[in-house]
Amino acid sequence: EAGVAQSPRYKIIEKRQSVAFWCNPISGHATLYWYQQILGQGPKLLIQFQNNGVVDDSQLPKDRFSAERLKGVDSTLKIQPAKLEDSAVYLCASVGLAGVEQFFGPGTRLTVL
Amino acid sequence: SQQGEEDPQALSIQEGENATMNCSYKTSINNLQWYRQNSGRGLVHLILIRSNEREKHSGRLRVTLDTSKKSSSLLITASRAADTASYFCATAPSYDKVIFGPGTSLSVIP
């Protein structure tokens, strides 16, 4: 079974630029999560999708962050414009219909200069 | 906050020793999960314990849950160098959502 795929693995941008991350969950997994993990901290939930609908985006900074999962499969997370404090690892996870265990991708490490 | 807090923040032990990490939380939970994160394999689910369970085992892992004290512990027995990683307690207010604590950094010295 293929795992959760994310790209790119690394991204360096300057503040005020835009960036997008892509996630392809495990096949058949209806629930998809995006997390932000700042160095030395635990992952913080940004947004949760169930199929192509948003379940929880209460912690997503909507003035600069957006996310979509148009066909209920892969998802993109965008930051526009980026700030220095957005430097973090962005993790994508998915869960199957009957499960609670989250399967994580390798993450995208974002550095904002 | 619902967030669990792990204790200690960092732990260093010799290979073969046991490692114990604790997690405390503040509000009711559906379940509690432990995850491991290292540079090689990313974030990996280790074990889940439901709110009506008191103890679970998986290989060298033992997890306990005391809902009256709102606390959990993770015991790794006979530790190996490969156990070196950060360990996160994730409290679940509902079946489909978890909130991660700041983690415990474990170093196992060969």
Is the minimum CB–CB distance between B45 and chain A shorter than 8 Å?
A: yes
Q: Is B107 helix (H, G, I), strand (E, B) or coil?
A: strand
Q: Check whether B2 has a pLDDT greater than 70.
A: no
What pLDDT sits at residue B59? Answer: 97
Q: Which residue has the tokens 């996870």?
A: A93
Indicate whether A105 belongs to any domain.
Answer: no
Nearest CB to B48: which of A40, A42, A100?
A: A100
> Which residues of chain B are within 8 Å of residue A95 when distances are taken between CB atoms?
96
Supply angle C-alpha A56, A58, A60, rounded to 5. 100
For A24-34, the pLDDT digits (tens) are: 999 999 999 99
Instruction: Return the minimum-mean-pLDDT range out of A42-51, B56-65, B91-100.
Output: B91-100
8 A C-beta contact, residue B76 and residue B18: yes
Closest chain B CA to residue A104: B43
What CA–CA distance (Å, rounded) separates A59 from B19?
34
Indicate whether A64 belongs to any domain.
Answer: yes
The strand order across the sheet containing B61-66 reads B5-7, B19-24, B71-76, B61-66, B55-58
Nearest CB to A41: which of B48, B95, B102?
A: B102
CATH number for the domain harbouring residue A20? 2.60.40.10
By percentage, how much of chain B surpasses pLDDT 70?
97
For B5-37, the pLDDT digits (tens) are: 888 999 999 999 999 999 999 989 999 999 999
By percentage, how much of chain A surpasses pLDDT 70?
99
What pLDDT sits at residue A1? Answer: 64
What pLDDT sits at residue B1? Answer: 46
Average pLDDT over residues A38-49: 95
Indicate whether A101 belongs to any domain.
Answer: no
Higher pLDDT, B94 or B74: B74
- Provide the β-strand partners of residue A33: A48, A93
DSSP for A4-67 reads -EEE-SEEEE-TT--EEEEEE--TT--EEEEEEE-TTS--EEEEEEETTEEEE-TTS-TTTEEE
For A68-106, the pLDDT digits (tens) are: 998 889 999 999 999 999 999 999 999 987 778 999 999
Domain count, chain A: 1
What pLDDT sits at residue A97? Answer: 78
Q: How far is B95 from chain A (nearest CA, A)?
A: 6
Domain that holds residue A90: 16-94
Domains along chain B with CATH numbers: 5-109 (2.60.40.10)
Indicate whether A113 belongs to any domain.
Answer: no
For B37-76, the pLDDT digits (tens) are: 997 678 999 999 999 999 999 999 999 999 999 999 999 9
Indicate whether A89 belongs to any domain.
Answer: yes
8 A C-beta contact, residue B25 and residue B5: yes
Indicate whether A35 belongs to any domain.
Answer: yes
Indicate whether A112 belongs to any domain.
Answer: no
Count of A–B CB contacts within 8 Å? 47
Indicate whether A50 belongs to any domain.
Answer: yes
What pLDDT sits at residue A81? Answer: 97
| Pairing of β B42-50 and β B31-38 | antiparallel
